[in-house]
Amino acid sequence: MSSAPDPGLVPENPAAAYGFDAAYRGAPPNWDIGRPQRAFVHLEETGRIGRRVLEVGCGTGELSLYLARHGHDVLGIDFAPSAIAQARSKARWRRVPAHFLVWDALKLPELGVRVDTVLDSAMLHCLGEAEQARFVDGLASVLDPGGSYFLLCDVKPEGASYFHGASLSRSEIERLFAGPEWELESVSETVFERRASHNPAYLVGVTRT
């Protein structure tokens, strides 16, 4: 899978983009653990990730690099330029053929790629409600029929109108993927690992019909 030249795309929410970009300029943020999340490693080990992969919100690229080393054709996107710069540097020094692009995940229809699998390590749960719906709509433009979207997100207690930190409840996940183009295959309890802790999380598996 080839990627287009980096277009310097301006995110629709530049304040949020700046916040994430600034987080990657100093010490690694607590969600950047220096390796892929174990939940995604298990998916790879059990053969559930297709050959052509798009990782949305890839950060500094550890998951994309891991998958590229295991033979997948991978493109990682993030709207934080400093994160993508680090990911590209890692790929170069490790000699791993992963591709990275500064891109807004709300503009997937403009990306111009088709993949078997989309991976999301805690990106969707950072978006607002309208942005989440728009992202899900855009998924169909890059994911082939029969392909899979796997989401790792922090757990929001059911019925909570507000919960500290970014998170999703099971019912919110079910509503997001209630459309006829999606089949919600699984919502499994797991953990999201951070540098000094871990949170209860869902690993969500969705198939594009």
CA 6 to chain centre: 19
Please check whether residue 8 lies inside any domain of the structure. Answer: no
What is d(CA 208, CA 179) in angstroms, rounded to the nearest whole number? 10
Q: Which two tokens stand for residue 124?
A: 């969707």
As for how many domains the chain has, the answer is 1
Please check whether residue 57 lies inside any domain of the structure. Answer: yes
Strand 99-102 and strand 182-193: pairing? unpaired
Percent of the chain scoring above 70 in pLDDT: 88
* pLDDT of res. 2: 42
Please check whether residue 1 lies inside any domain of the structure. Answer: no
State the CATH number of the domain containing residue 176.
3.40.50.150
Please check whether residue 87 lies inside any domain of the structure. Answer: yes
CB 117 within 8 A of CB 49: yes
* pLDDT of res. 6: 52
Which amino acid makes up residue 68?
A: A
pLDDT, average across residues 173-200: 96
Lowest mean pLDDT, pick from 13-27, 43-57, 102-116: 13-27
84 φ, ψ (degrees, to nearest 5): -65, -35
Please check whether residue 6 lies inside any domain of the structure. Answer: no
Residue with tokens 């919100």: 57
Q: Which two tokens stand for residue 66?
A: 């891991």
What is d(CA 45, CA 100) in angstroms, rounded to the nearest whole number? 23
Quick: pLDDT tens for 131-165: 999 999 999 999 999 999 999 999 998 876 655 56
In order of 10, 32, 198, the CA distances from 17 in angstroms are 9, 17, 24
Please check whether residue 69 lies inside any domain of the structure. Answer: yes
Quick: pLDDT tens for 87-114: 999 999 999 999 999 999 999 999 999 9
Supply the range of the domain harboring residue 45: 14-208
Please check whether residue 7 lies inside any domain of the structure. Answer: no
Please check whether residue 198 lies inside any domain of the structure. Answer: yes
What is d(CA 189, CA 186) in angstroms, rounded to the nearest whole number? 10
